[in-house]
Amino acid sequence: MDDQILQTAADMYGTPSYVFDLDEFHQRIRHMKEILGHEIKICYAMKANPFLAATSAQAADGLEVCSPGEYAICRRAGVPGKKIVLSGVNKEPQQILEVMGEGGAAAFTAESLYQLQILEACAAQESGQRTAQKSAVPVLLRLTSGNQFGMDEETVRAIIRDRGSYPHLDFIGLQYYSGTQKKQMSKLKKELEYLDGVLAGIREELVYELRELEYGPGLSIPYFEGQEIQDEDLMLREFRDFLDQMEFTGTITLEAGRFLAAPCGSYITQVVDLKRSQGQNYCIVDGGIHHVNYYGQAMAMKIPLHRFMPRQASGRREEERWTVCGSLCTSGDMLVKNLPLPDPAMGDLLVFDRIGAYSVTEGIYLFLSRRLPRILTYTEADGLCLVRRDLPTDPLNDGSIHIDQL
């Protein structure tokens, strides 16, 4: 997004604001499919940024949905059930029945034996409510990578061996995700080799053919100055080679969130105060850590990719180092320490780039009862669009909003 678009966003709508480039997001999905091959499906993990859900429904093959709220967002955006993978560690029967009653999903993930029991009970109930025979509900068994998510290989095998106990479920494949920001391609290769072995073992030893693999590679995105900017095309081509080496011949779906969304967002905040105290320059902005949250930020010691946009370009001196702090009354509200800035002035803009993933929802928004930041989207066809104004949070913090208003 060029400076003029961001300057216009600040002038027209004010700060602090996020701006998400929907064209770039759409293009990243399309380009990823072009390099990997269109037979490889892309599933957008909407927890990275729910404001991109509608665009991802147009560009991606599916969306991973992990909560009733995310499902509601998809329904309002018109996302068809056949594009939804209902995931998450806490699936409630009421939510499952709602999804099944509205036509179901492309697949439901199962994180535990208990979730399987819930899915089977809901599928049996939903099937019994219809006169026509319903087909079995498609289920992806989540294989753990050594944390609270999913089940170990022994449990997965036992489920498939005992599949007759789940007559209303169809175990179509595996889901596997082991983390984010993976920089070593060798790790991805080892994971795919492991998954290929698990799938082969189930096929040969249990005489059961799993038809799908949903895999979250956790491809890395550089956020900070000094980090190497990788050749994404080269990385994706190497990853495609790993996929080609697999014996598994079923459908492969890649779950991606951060990798797709992060480069498509910018955050604009404005300088509201400047001071020098005990030899340190402090620049106060109208945003803060409740809006800016980069993975691996490390207490503001790293400098995120950013732009300084002065209101007036003339008369700037040499750069000095400034600690950029936000508007929260806590000493932890530091965005960047010792950021080189050329004589900042009130009203100047700081733009934090590559902030299209997670920051928009991960922030501690209710702290200090400040207003929510604005959310803007941009496309070449429609220009800037305000999709959420700067909403107040104070009624949420004292019970002023009646329960019926929520």
Q: Where are the domains of the chain?
A: 21-260, 262-394
Class of domain 262-394: mainly beta
Coil, strand or helix: which one is 303?
Answer: coil
pLDDT given for residue 318 in this prediction: 81
Give percent of the chain above pLDDT 70.
96
Upstream peptide bond of 16 is cis (omega within 30 degrees of 0): yes
pLDDT given for residue 238 in this prediction: 97
Q: How many residues does the chain have?
A: 406
Coil, strand or helix: which one is 221?
Answer: coil
329 an active-site residue?
Answer: yes
C-alpha distances (whole Å) from 41 to each of 36, 185, 386, 390 are: 9, 20, 31, 36
Hey, which residues does 308 pair with through a beta bridge? Answer: 350
pLDDT at 363 over 70: yes
CATH number of 21-260: 3.20.20.10
pLDDT at 215 over 50: yes
Q: Worst-scoring range by mean pLDDT, 126-130, 231-235, 367-371?
A: 126-130
Q: Chain-wide mean pLDDT for the chain?
A: 94
pLDDT given for residue 95 in this prediction: 95
Record the tokens describing residue 12, joined without a space.
Answer: 């027209």
Q: 73: closest CA among 380, 369, 388, 400?
A: 388
Strands 374-379 and 383-388: antiparallel
Q: 250: closest CA among 308, 208, 205?
A: 208
pLDDT at 406 over 60: no
C-alpha distances (whole Å) from 352 to each of 251, 264, 293, 304 are: 38, 12, 10, 7
Write down the catalytic residue from 74, 283, 329, 385. 329
pTM for this entry:
0.94
pLDDT given for residue 133 in this prediction: 53
pLDDT, tens only, 46-72 = 999 999 999 999 999 999 999 999 999
pLDDT, tens only, 22-31 = 999 999 999 9
pLDDT, tens only, 152-192 = 999 999 999 999 999 999 999 999 999 999 989 999 999 99
Q: What's the count of helices (H) and strands (E) in the chain, helices before strands?
A: 11, 17
Structure confidence at residue 131 as a pLDDT band (50, 70, 90): very low
CB 271 within 8 A of CB 345: yes
Structure confidence at residue 274 as a pLDDT band (50, 70, 90): very high
Structure confidence at residue 134 as a pLDDT band (50, 70, 90): low
- The CA distance from 221 to 260, in Å, is 9
